[in-house]
Structure 1
Amino acid sequence: MSLSFDLFWSFRSPYSYLVTPRICDLVASHDVTCNVRIVYPIAVRQADFFQKVDPLWVFYLMKDTYRTADYLGLPYRWPMPDPVIMDPATRLYPAEQPHIHRLSHLGVVAAARGRGLEFIREVSHTIWSGTVDNWHEGDHMSDAAARAGLDLAEMDAAIAADEAHCIAAIDANQTAQRAAGHYGVPLMAVDGEPFFGQDRLDQLIWRLKQKGLQPR
């Protein structure tokens, strides 16, 4: 029987972007299924999170993400624009967000169509790789969706027809995320055991092998 694990993932998380190609490689090379479960970023769930956090947290995040991308050989730049907009005067995140809700709901739709992993890989590369500016304009998003085997216009129409379903799905994912044992992303979980962070992927694979993971 094929193994599976949950992947709790956010479009605003650089570490989510950095782990995704390796998860794609794992799924391509081994008999295992990745259940993509989109969650809102911590800045959306807790608007004052970055106002309260120690400044060293952000300093280290920036240094570590660029270093990790270099180590992994992945192109990387903080997105332009940021998927989550912050008020620079207050360091608060307003409820009205022009990008992150659409991105997150598209991720829910992609997962429901069985193309969640492909979609987050293509879109996160578009957003985080630094290969394009203004990733939200022009054909960047539709091209990314097409590479994932999806039609962006059809997905947007599905969201418009029942956005409440997408919101409910993300709420359920966030509840399951905490039940799995953590609130951050990327979070992988198998049989109730959490593996938080891109640097825990090797331990996830180790555990899956203990459970019988086999090459395809």
Structure 2
Amino acid sequence: MTLSYDLYWSFRSPYSYMVTPRLRVLERDHDVACQVRLVYPLAVRTPEFFDTRDPLWLSYFMTDVFREAAFLGLPFRWPRPDPVQREPDGRYPAEQPYIHRLTHLGVAAAQRGRGLAFLEEVSRTIWGGEVDDWHQGDHLARASERAGLDYDELSAAVDAEPDRHRAVVEENQVAQRKAGHYGVPLMVFGAEPFFGQDRFDQMVWRMQAQGLAARI
């Protein structure tokens, strides 16, 4: 029996980037299906969330993301440019062309059955530290090709129906909270939420209890 889980994921989340290679290996080696559900980052959904954080939250976060990437053996650098634009005074503008487009492209990729592959290839391009100006040139097109997708076709689909793709994201965000958390990456298996890339092993443990089988 194929096991399935929902994955709530954001292109602005370094931890989403970090968990994705393990999720792809899990799906490659086991009879598991991932239902990719893209969401906007908290900086876009609820930017006031960060106004109430203790100053130590950010300093610890910046220490931890680099340490965790090194621990996992993943290349890592803060994106250039950041997928979420920010004003000099620290405010997040309502218009966010980078993250909105990335998220809608992810929705389109998921609808074509290549969501997880697209997330891995594009997030590596953005977060892996080898690409400056990932939003220009053919960087996203090449990442899409590696994921088995045609970037021009994805872009055309998003351009043709922006409201529909936005509505899918908003539906995902409602479902995410109903599932038990607001952050990413959030994996939901058997109605049980597993928040954070460091809960991957616990989710697999639960799957094993439910008969997780290797692919033949």
Using structure 2 for the length normalisation, give the TM-score: 0.98
CA distance in 1, matches of 2:141, 2:147: 10
Look up the match of 1:18: 18
Deviation of 1:87 after TM superposition, in Å, equals 1.5
Cα deviations across residues 11-68 of structure 1 (Å, max 9, x unaligned)?
0000000000011111111110011100000000012222332221111111101000
Work out whether residues 187 and 194 of structure 1, in 8 Å CA contact, stay in contact via their aligned partners in 2.
yes
Using structure 1 for the length normalisation, give the TM-score: 0.98
Counterpart of 1:184, as a letter, is G
Counterpart of 1:16, as a letter, is S
CA distance in 2, matches of 1:22, 1:3: 16
Q: Establish whether residue 153 from structure 1 lines up as the match of residue 174 from structure 2.
A: no
Look up the match of 1:59: 59
CA distance in 1, matches of 2:156, 2:198: 37
Look up the match of 2:138: 139
Secondary structure of residue in 1 paired with 2:35: strand
Work out whether residues 8 and 185 of structure 1, in 8 Å CA contact, stay in contact via their aligned partners in 2.
yes
Look up the match of 1:33: 33
Look up the match of 2:190: 191
CA distance in 2, matches of 1:55, 1:98: 28
Secondary structure of residue in 2 paired with 1:34: strand
Secondary structure of residue in 1 paired with 2:59: helix
Look up the match of 2:74: 74
Deviation of 1:92 after TM superposition, in Å, equals 1.7
Deviation of 1:135 after TM superposition, in Å, equals 0.6
Work out whether residues 115 and 148 of structure 1, in 8 Å CA contact, stay in contact via their aligned partners in 2.
yes
Deviation of 1:155 after TM superposition, in Å, equals 0.8
CA distance in 1, matches of 2:153, 2:119: 17
Deviation of 1:196 after TM superposition, in Å, equals 0.2
Cα deviations across residues 66-124 of structure 1 (Å, max 9, x unaligned)?
000000000000000000011131x2211011200000000000000000000000000
1:78-157 matches, cutoff 5 A: 78-89=78-89, 91-157=90-156
Look up the match of 1:179: 178
Look up the match of 2:44: 44
Look up the match of 1:8: 8
Counterpart of 1:175, as a letter, is V
Cα deviations across residues 115-146 of structure 1 (Å, max 9, x unaligned)?
00000000000000001111111110100001
Counterpart of 1:133, as a letter, is D
- Computed over aligned residues only, the root mean square deviation of the Cα atoms, in angstroms, reads 0.8
What is the aligned-residue identity percentage?
Answer: 60
Deviation of 1:194 after TM superposition, in Å, equals 0.1
CA distance in 2, matches of 1:138, 1:161: 22
Counterpart of 2:37, as a letter, is R
| Runs of 4 or more above 4 Å deviation | none
Work out whether residues 8 and 177 of structure 1, in 8 Å CA contact, stay in contact via their aligned partners in 2.
yes
**How many residues are matched?**
215
Work out whether residues 10 and 39 of structure 1, in 8 Å CA contact, stay in contact via their aligned partners in 2.
yes
